[in-house]
Amino acid sequence: MVQMQVTLPEGRVGHLAFTEEIESYLRRAHNLFGGGLDGADTVVLLEMFFAYKLGSDGNSPGSGKQAVVAVVSFLEHCKTQPWLWQPQHLQHY
């Protein structure tokens, strides 16, 4: 059985125009999981989180960016996809 990999262009990994300012953090999260579907899904989650922080929470773009920076830092620490996070990941952080 051969596992298929999604190959994204070397341009942006983000898909939303207003997330250009967090592109470097999206790229870090994408590369952390070797790209592919896990990397792409993580980018989508980060973009939705950023949109939520700016929209529903009413934060400034700078505050939204800081929130994304914190989440990417946590991702880099636990090296686990967000949908697999467990309480012990946060405890060890």
Whether 44 maps to a domain, the answer reads: yes
Residue 16: per-residue pLDDT: 92
**Taking Cα atoms as reference points, which of 9, 3, 93, 82 lies closest to residue 47?**
82
Q: What is the tally of structural domains in the chain?
A: 1
Helix (H) or strand (E) holding 61: helix 61-78
Is 46 a member of any domain?
yes
Q: Confirm whether 82 is domain-assigned.
A: yes
Q: What is the pLDDT of residues 20-58, one digit of tens each?
A: 999 999 999 999 999 999 999 999 999 999 999 998 878
Asked if 46 contacts 26 with a C-beta cutoff of 8 angstroms, the reply is: yes
Q: What percent of the chain has pLDDT over 70?
A: 89
SS3 86: coil
| Structural domain includes residue 9 | no
Res. 3: pLDDT tops 70: no
Domain that holds residue 25: 20-88
Q: Note whether 68 and 49 are within 8 A (CB).
A: yes
Higher-confidence residue: 83 or 1?
A: 83
Query: What's the sign of the alpha-carbon dihedral 8, 23, 27, 85?
Result: negative
Task: Assess if residue 63 is contained within a domain.
Answer: yes
**Domain presence at residue 3:** no
Asked whether residue 8 carries a pLDDT value surpassing 50, the answer given is: no
Give a yes or no: residue 57 inside a domain.
yes
pLDDT at residue 92 in the model: 85
In a domain, 10, yes or no: no
Predicted local confidence at residue 43, as pLDDT: 97
Which of 49, 43, 16 minimizes the C-alpha distance to 29?
43
